[in-house]
Amino acid sequence: MNGALAPHAGNPLVTEEATVQDLKLAQALGFERPTNIRNLIKRHRPTLEAMGLVLQSEAPIRSGKGRVSMVTEFRLNPAQAAFIIAKAGTKRADSLAVLMAEVFAMFSVGKLVAVDEDAAKELAAAQAREARRRYEEERDARSKAFAFLR
């Protein structure tokens, strides 16, 4: 995936965070039909949105007969791309998912630490978001359980 993440210059809807275009990610992951990644993104959109805005735009494509139609193109931030990598199921994606799991395991036992204060703040914010997501999931589960008992 090296080189696939790029700042999205020229797009006024976008922050400075690097993103990856859906088809470039699909090619890097070895999808036989790169456009299939868009269905995967759509299916997991609620989870992806928990990691940030899922950027999308309409892009023209030309068929073999010259007909032009519009398709939705997605751009994912690094966390969203990592999630899609874990869900993709291609050989390359599985290999990357193993690497991500190994890095996470090292982090979990304190072998990887934030390199500076800004990174420490980002890490703390990510941990706070995760705690909030867990709290909301548990709250929703309790609400459903109590509603069932009524």
Identify the helix (H) or strand (E) that includes residue 115.
none
- Asked if residue 13 has pLDDT above 80, the reply is no
Look up residue 12 and give its DSSP letter: T
How many alpha carbons lie under 13 Å from residue 39 in its C-beta half-sphere? 6
11, pLDDT greater than 60: no
Spatial distance between the Cα atoms of 88 and 32, rounded to a whole number of angstroms: 12
d(C-alpha 72, C-alpha 20), whole Å = 14
Region 86-109 average pLDDT: 94
Distances (CA, A) of 24 to 2, 6, 30: 11, 11, 10
CA 146 to chain centroid, in Å, comes to 33
H helix intervals, the chain: 22-29, 36-43, 45-49, 78-88, 91-108, 117-149
pLDDT of 1 > 80? The answer is no
Question: pLDDT tens, 125-147?
Answer: 888 988 998 998 899 899 988 88
Please state, in angstroms and rounded to a whole number, the distance separating the CA atoms of residues 67 and 22.
Answer: 23
> What tens digit of pLDDT does each residue of 35-93 get?
999 999 999 999 999 999 999 999 998 888 889 999 999 999 999 999 999 999 999 99
- Residue where the block lists tokens 């997605």: 74
- Give this prediction's pTM: 0.74
**For residues 94 and 121, what is the distance between their CA atoms, to the nearest angstrom?**
30
Output the pLDDT for position 15. 55
Q: Is the pLDDT of residue 12 over 90?
A: no
